[in-house]
Structure 1
């Protein structure tokens, strides 16, 4: 298998914690190539705890390892940059970004933040630090800031977040009822800094869903930058059948389409 198609090795174990099933997954990502900023083992390991819960944010969704792998392959585009993650959930993508040297601000809905501190646990157990408000302007790559941010709800949190270079989001385009709110949120940050781009990975679940009209309304454009097919690897759950997970680049329509 070529470096381009190498996927994370996932090891999982589970136990009871307070009457709730808690599982722990270890994602082992092959790094490939040469990069003096990454340790010589050429492996990036991330440990993620999950909970058996009906809440979306308690498990790592299938697109998260795909987006993480994309970030690793293109890590020069993320290292040293200020990155905002939407819908962080268990935190896999944000943690990978921080370990690659990006300056991460991770967010999840107000409800998710009220319900669980699982995101905090995962950040700390991967030897990263949770930042405070007074350090938000000058983020150390080992420090991750966490904010409650509900898509489309313009609370004071939006105005705390400084200008960002890129946004990441995995499996956020899941419920069509949320599509407008997600794109409205992207449009806000891209209006503040027109150079901001968003990398989002999603799994096709319904071929009739289309965000093109909504994107035009918010003056956004997108292009596909990577497609990951489930049958390219043996580590993902095959129970949902053969599906593709696409990573798309979203940007303000004033930008020139990339070649």
Structure 2
């Protein structure tokens, strides 16, 4: 199992806000090893983990991570970005959606935001807490956020002690350029 650097940064953000997590409904998309979701569950949140329904091995990694962290009760669902499935329709409203490094391939950006948009309609106050690794200065979410009636707030890493090469004794962040965003509906759409 591999933990991506962005997952460590998002987990640090969750840890920094751990007192606000108990009882929150949280969905982690593209969870993989599920470090942020596992941490949120350990902090008292009601967590659902998800990864692509088209990649059963990724869902199995989520389940293994739950078992390894003594959280066998966590629900794991297959969600494929941009597809309306029964699993997506059945999800309860969420307070927070977690996404570490899902903005990896530009051709997936709109499908991810379409899925988030659908989930935001279940709870217009939901926020997407997302970290991503800067891979190209040419990639931008700005136009897509505007198209999907969303706004984005950049969270400085130093505001939650994540501006270091190592976090919580992990050297994974290293010298990667990781950004933290909070995405929500644009103010005038509420």
TM-score by length of 2: 0.89
| Structure (1 or 2) with the larger CA radius of gyration | 1
Does 1:80 find its partner at 2:23? yes
Distance 2:25 2:5 in 1: 25
Distance 1:102 1:90 in 2: 18
Distance 1:236 1:114 in 2: 26
Distance 1:170 1:120 in 2: 18
Write the mapping of 1:103-122 to structure 2, written as runs, cut at 5 A.
Answer: 103-113=46-56, 117-122=60-65
Please, which runs of 5 or more residues in structure 2 have no aligned partner?
none
Does 1:125 find its partner at 2:60? no
Task: Tell me the residue number matched to 2:171.
Answer: 236
Counting strand residues as a fraction of each chain, which structure ranks higher? 1
Distance 2:4 2:58 in 1: 18
* Root mean square deviation, CA, Å: 2.0
Please, which runs of 5 or more residues in structure 1 have no aligned partner?
1-49, 51-58, 131-143
- Greater RCO (CA < 8 Å, at least 6 residues apart): 2
TM-score by length of 1: 0.66
Please say if residues 197 and 249 of structure 1, whose CA atoms lie closer than 8 Å, have aligned partners that are also in contact: yes
Distance 2:41 2:124 in 1: 23
Aligned length: 184
Distance 2:57 2:166 in 1: 38
Write the mapping of 1:1-259 to structure 2, written as runs, cut at 5 A.
Answer: 50=1, 59-113=2-56, 117-130=60-73, 144-227=74-157, 228-229=162-163, 231=165, 235-237=170-172, 242-254=175-187
1:232 to 1:146, Cα distance in 2 relative to 1, 3 A: closer
Task: Tell me the residue number matched to 1:5.
Answer: none
State the Cα distance separating 1:116 from its structure 2 match.
5.8
1:251 to 1:206, Cα distance in 2 relative to 1, 3 A: same
1:165 to 1:255, Cα distance in 2 relative to 1, 3 A: farther
State the Cα distance separating 1:114 from its structure 2 match.
5.2
Query: Structure 1 residue runs of 4+, over 3 Å off?
Result: 228-235
